[in-house]
C-alpha cells in the first residue's frame, strides 16, 4: 500500500472540509480524486503531505505514519501544486535544480536527474529561460519538472492542467502515464472528468469532503441506473410521439429542444434501435443520431443531484 | 543542503531588480538629492572674515597701538583672521557701507568710533573687539599714570595675555555638522530596507504564504536549516548593498563618518540584521497579502526615519525632550545615533548602548520569527 487514509476529518471553524474521508493508493496505480471545486480534494492532499493540521484520522505512506519530519517518506514523494510553484528569478534549469537539490544532495547525480526531468517535460530548448518568458503550458511543464526531477515513487498532482491549452494538456497527461509506466504511483486530482477517465485506473468521487463513490470508471458507471444517452435530430415531432417514446421500455426521460431529441435510457443493448423504429413508425423524419455511454458527470449527477461543474 | 539553499536564495535576491532598486539605488539617489539640498547648510556654518573699513585720517595714523591691534586680527597668522580691512577716506567708507560691501567702518576722532548699517552677529563682533581694545587701552593708561614702574616689569605683556582658568575638554573630536545627521539617518533607513529581503525569504519557505514555500515544506528539508540559509543570504546581500551605499557616501559625496570606520561597519552589520529580521517578523506575524506587508514595511520605516529626523532634524530633539523612550525603540534612530555618536563623541558609551539595544531588537525579531516558523503544520494554506 502506498497511501492509506482512514477517517480523515478536517474542519475550518464550522465548515467541515473533510468528513471521515478514506483513501487507498496501491502500488502502480493512478488514482483520480474527482470532485467539484471546494469538494475537499486539495485539502486532502495537503493533509496527506502533512502541510495541514487535521482534526482526526490516520495517514500512512509506504506503510509508515506520515508526519512533517518524516524525511525518509518525503524523500520519495513528488508534489506538483495547483499553483505554479517556481521562482521568477531562476531559470528553468535553476528552478529544477533548486527543488531537486532539496531531495538529492549529490551534485553529479543531481545534474543528470535535472537534465532528464527537463527533457521529459520537453523544456530542453528552454533551459536558460526565466519563467516569465514561458507560456502558460510551458510553465505548467516546468512546475511538473520541479516536482519529479528526484524520481519519486509517489507523485501527487493537484489539478496540474488548470488554465492550460488542449495541446499542452494532452502532453501533460501523456507524461503522467509515462511516469506511471516507469513505476511511479500517482494521485491525480481534477474537476475535469474527461482527464480522470483518460488516465486514472481507479477513481474516488468527492463531494463536501466525503467519498461519494469509488472504483474503476466502469464500476462507477455501473453503479447508476442511467445507461446510454441517445440524441437524434428530428423534424416536427408531435407531443404524441414524445409521449410514445417516454413510454418505451427502458426509457428514463425524453426531451425535445426544438431541434434535438434527447433520450436517456437505462442499461440495455437495443435502446437506439427501439427509438429509431418508433420514430419511423410515426413517420417522423430524423437526421443525425448520436449514442453516448454514461459519463462520470452522470454518475455524479445521479448520486448528488447536481452537475460536477455546478 | 545549506550551501545549496544559500546560493540559490542569494541568486534570487540579487536578481530581484525591484527590491535591489529600493535597497540600493533609492538610498543613493536620495543621498545625491540630500547633497544638493544640504551643501548650502554646511557652507553657512563656516566662519568668514568680517569685511570692515578704517578711515585713514590723521588721528588713526597717530594711533600706532590701534594700528597694531588691527593688524593682529587681520593677518592670517594661524590660517584664520577676524577682519578683512580696507583703509579709505571717510567718504569712501560711507559709500562702501551704503553699498553693503562692508559690515561697518571705524574712524578715530576724539576716540574710536564705529559706524554700522545693520545689527547682527558680525556687527556685534566688531563692537566687542573695539570695546575690548578700548578697555585694555584705558587700563594701560591708568597704570601708566598711577604706577609707571609697573610698565617696566612686563605689565603690558601680562595685560595682553589672555589666560583662561577654565580648561575646555572637547566632548567631540569632530566639528558639529547638521548635514551629516541627514546622511546618517538615510543610511539607517537603508539598513532597515533589508526588511524587504526578510519578507521575501519568509515567502520562499512558508507553506501558508506561497506555493514555493509549500513545495519547500513538502521536501525532506529541515525548515530551520532552510530558514537559516535564507536569512544568511538576505543578510549577505543587504550587507553588501549597505557597504556600497556607505562607500558612495564617503567617497562620492564626502560625508564624514569620523575615523572609527570599523565601528561604523559594525553598526551597518547590526543594522542590517535588525532590518532583515524586522522583515521576517512582520511577514511571519501577518496573514495579509504581500502588498499590504510591503506597504507596512515602507510605512513603518518611513515613520521611523521621520522620527529619527530624516525629514526634519529638529524632530530628533523633540522626541529626546518629550518621549525619550521612543528614540530607544526606533531602530532607524538607534542606527543613525550610533553613527553620530562615533562621529561626535570621543568615548563609546553612548554608541555601545545604542548598538546593544539594536542587537537586542534583532534578537527579539529573530526569536519571534523562529518560534512561529518552527510550527510545522498549518491550520490553513
What 8-state DSSP symbol labels residue A135?
Answer: -
CB A29 within 8 A of CB A185: yes
List chain B residues with CB under 8 Å of A51. 207, 214, 217-218, 377-378, 381
DSSP string of A156-223? EEESTTTT--HHHHHHHHHHHHHHHHTT-EEEEEES-HHHHHHH-SEEEEEETTEEEEEE-HHHHHHT
Our measurement of the distance from residue B110's CA atom to the centroid of its chain's CA atoms, rounded to an integer in Å, reads: 51
* Architecture of the domain delimited by A225-293: 2-Layer Sandwich (3.30)
Within 217-256 of B, beta carbons closer than 8 Å to A belong to 217-222
> Which pLDDT belongs to residue B42?
59
Within 8-37 of A, beta carbons closer than 8 Å to B belong to 12
For the segment B20-49, the average pLDDT, to the nearest whole number, is 82
Cα torsion at A95, A101, A106, A107 (round to 10°)? Answer: 20
Tell the residue number behind the cell numbers 464500476, with chain if given: A219
Whole-prediction pTM: 0.77
CB B327 within 8 A of CB B321: no
CA angle in degrees (0–180, nearest 5) for B153-B158-B161: 155
**Alpha-carbon separation of residue B302 from A36, B16, B203, B277, B332 (angstroms):** 47, 22, 23, 17, 9
B172: pLDDT strictly greater than 90: no
Mean pLDDT of chain B: 87
> Which pLDDT belongs to residue B335?
95
Closest to B193 (Cα-Cα) out of B296, B304, B272: B272
Our measurement of the distance from residue B356's CA atom to the centroid of its chain's CA atoms, rounded to an integer in Å, reads: 20
**In chain A, which residues fall in CATH 3.40.50.300?**
3-221
Every domain of chain B and the residues it spans:
2-42+181-373, 49-160
Q: How far is A212 from chain B (nearest CA, A)?
A: 24
**Inter-chain CB proximity A75 and B220 less than 8 Å:** yes
Query: Nearest by CB to A90, which of B4, B12, B379?
Result: B12
ipTM: 0.84
Render pLDDT for B48-68 as a digit per residue (tens, 0 to 9): 789 999 999 888 888 888 888
**Inter-chain CB proximity B4 and A69 less than 8 Å:** no
Residues of chain A with pLDDT under 70: 307-310
> Which pLDDT belongs to residue B44?
58
Q: State the CB neighbour count (10 A cutoff) for residue A250.
A: 16
List chain A residues with CB under 8 Å of B211. 81-85
> Which pLDDT belongs to residue B95?
92
Render pLDDT for B318-335 as a digit per residue (tens, 0 to 9): 888 888 898 899 999 999
B366: pLDDT strictly greater than 80: yes
B109: pLDDT strictly greater than 80: yes
Q: Please give the helix or strand (H or E) that residue B115 lies within, else none.
A: strand B112-116
Chain A: residue whose CA lies nearest to B375: A68
Q: Which CATH superfamily is domain B49-160 in?
A: Periplasmic binding protein-like II (3.40.190.10)
B273: pLDDT strictly greater than 60: yes
Domain covering A3-221 in this structure, CATH number: 3.40.50.300
Query: Nearest by CB to B218, which of A77, A86, A97?
Result: A77
Render pLDDT for B76-86 as a digit per residue (tens, 0 to 9): 766 678 889 99
Render pLDDT for A40-63 as a digit per residue (tens, 0 to 9): 999 999 999 999 999 999 999 999
For the segment B195-211, the average pLDDT, to the nearest whole number, is 90
Amino acid at each position: 500500500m502506498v497511501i492509506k487514509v482512514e477517517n480523515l476529518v478536517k474542519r475550518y471553524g464550522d465548515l467541515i472540509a473533510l468528513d471521515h474521508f478514506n483513501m487507498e493508493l496501491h502500488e502502480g496505480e493512478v488514482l483520480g480524486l474527482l470532485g467539484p471545486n471546494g469538494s475537499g480534494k486539495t485539502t486532502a492532499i495537503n493533509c496527506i503531505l502533512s502541510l495541514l493540521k487535521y482534526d482526526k484520522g490516520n495517514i500512512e505512506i509506504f506503510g509508515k505514519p506520515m508526519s512533517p519530519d518524516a524525511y525518509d517518506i518525503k524523500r520519495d514523494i513528488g508534489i506538483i501544486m495547483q499553483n505554479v510553484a517556481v521562482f521568477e528569478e531562476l531559470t528553468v534549469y535553476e528552478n529544477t535544480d533548486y527543488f531537486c537539490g532539496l531531495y538529492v544532495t549529490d551534485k553529479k547525480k543531481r545534474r543528470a536527474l535535472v537534465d532528464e526531468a527537463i527533457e521529459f517535460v520537453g523544456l530542453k530548448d528552454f533551459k536558460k529561460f526565466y519563467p516569465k518568458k514561458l507560456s502558460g503550458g510551458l510553465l505548467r511543464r516546468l512546475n511538473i519538472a520541479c516536482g519529479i526531477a528526484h524520481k519519486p515513487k509517489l507523485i501527487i498532482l493537484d489539478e496540474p492542467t488548470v488554465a492550460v491549452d488542449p495541446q499542452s494538456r494532452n502532453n501533460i497527461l501523456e507524461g503522467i502515464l509515462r511516469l506511471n509506466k516507469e513505476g511511479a504511483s500517482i494521485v491525480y486530482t481534477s474537476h475535469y472528468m474527461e482527464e480522470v477517465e483518460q488516465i486514472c485506473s481507479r477513481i474516488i468521487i468527492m463531494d463536501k469532503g466525503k467519498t461519494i463513490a469509488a472504483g474503476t470508471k466502469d464500476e462507477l458507471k455501473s453503479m447508476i441506473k442511467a445507461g446510454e444517452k441517445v440524441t437524434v435530430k428530428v423534424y416536427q415531432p408531435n407531443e404524441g410521439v414524445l409521449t410514445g417514446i417516454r413510454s418505451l421500455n427502458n426509457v428514463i426521460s425524453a426531451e425535445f429542444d426544438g431541434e434535438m431529441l434527447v433520450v436517456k435510457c437505462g442499461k440495455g443493448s437495443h435502446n437506439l434501435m427501439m427509438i429509431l423504429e418508433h420514430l419511423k413508425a410515426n413517420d417522423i423524419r430524423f437526421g443525425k443520431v448520436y449514442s453516448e455511454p454514461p459519463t462520470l458527470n452522470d454518475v455524479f449527477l445521479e448520486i448528488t443531484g447536481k452537475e460536477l461543474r455546478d | 543542503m545549506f550551501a545549496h539553499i544559500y546560493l540559490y536564495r542569494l541568486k534570487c535576491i540579487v536578481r530581484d531588480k525591484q527590491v535591489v532598486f529600493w535597497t540600493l539605488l533609492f538610498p543613493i539617489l536620495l543621498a545625491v538629492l540630500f547633497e544638493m539640498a544640504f551643501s548650502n547648510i554646511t557652507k553657512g556654518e563656516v566662519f568668514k572674515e568680517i569685511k570692515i573699513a578704517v578711515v585713514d585720517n590723521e588721528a588713526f595714523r597717530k594711533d600706532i597701538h590701534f594700528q597694531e591691534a588691527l593688524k593682529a586680527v587681520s593677518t592670517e597668522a594661524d590660517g584664520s583672521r577676524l577682519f578683512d580691512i580696507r583703509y579709505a577716506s571717510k567718504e569712501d567708507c560711507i559709500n562702501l557701507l551704503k553699498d553693503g560691501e562692508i559690515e561697518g567702518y571705524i574712524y578715530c576722532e576724539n576716540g574710536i568710533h564705529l559706524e554700522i548699517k545693520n545689527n547682527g552677529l558680525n556687527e556685534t563682533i566688531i563692537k566687542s573687539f573695539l570695546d575690548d581694545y578700548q578697555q585694555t587701552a584705558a587700563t594701560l593708561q591708568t597704570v601708566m599714570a598711577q604706577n609707571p614702574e609697573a610698565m617696566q616689569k612686563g605689565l603690558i605683556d601680562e595685560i595682553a595675555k589672555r589666560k583662561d582658568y577654565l580648561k575646555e575638554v572637547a566632548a567631540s573630536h569632530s566639528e558639529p555638522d547638521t548635514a551629516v545627521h541627514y546622511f546618517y539617518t538615510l543610511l539607517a533607513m537603508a539598513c532597515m530596507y533589508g526588511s524587504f529581503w526578510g519578507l521575501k525569504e519568509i515567502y520562499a519557505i512558508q507553506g501558508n504564504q506561497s506555493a514555493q514555500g509549500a513545495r519547500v515544506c513538502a521536501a525532506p528539508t529541515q525548515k530551520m536549516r532552510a530558514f537559516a540559509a535564507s536569512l544568511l543570504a538576505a543578510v549577505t546581500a543587504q550587507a553588501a548593498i549597505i557597504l556600497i551605499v556607505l562607500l558612495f557616501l564617503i567617497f562620492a559625496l564626502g560625508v564624514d563618518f569620523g575615523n572609527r570606520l570599523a565601528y561604523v561597519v559594525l553598526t551597518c552589520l547590526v543594522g542590517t540584521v535588525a532590518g532583515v529580521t524586522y522583515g521576517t517578523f512582520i511577514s511571519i506575524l501577518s496573514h495579509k497579502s504581500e502588498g499590504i506587508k510591503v506597504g507596512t514595511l515602507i510605512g513603518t520605516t518611513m515613520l521611523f526615519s521621520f522620527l529619527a529626523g530624516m525629514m526634519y532634524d529638529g524632530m530628533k530633539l523633540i522626541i529626546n525632550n518629550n518621549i525619550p523612550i521612543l528614540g530607544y525603540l526606533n531602530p532607524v534612530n538607534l542606527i543613525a545615533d550610533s553613527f553620530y555618536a562615533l562621529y561626535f563623541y570621543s568615548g563609546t558609551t553612548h554608541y555601545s548602548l545604542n548598538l546593544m539595544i539594536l542587537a537586542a531588537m534583532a534578537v527579539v525579531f529573530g526569536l519571534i520569527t523562529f518560534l512561529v516558523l518552527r510550527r510545522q503544520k498549518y491550520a490553513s494554506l
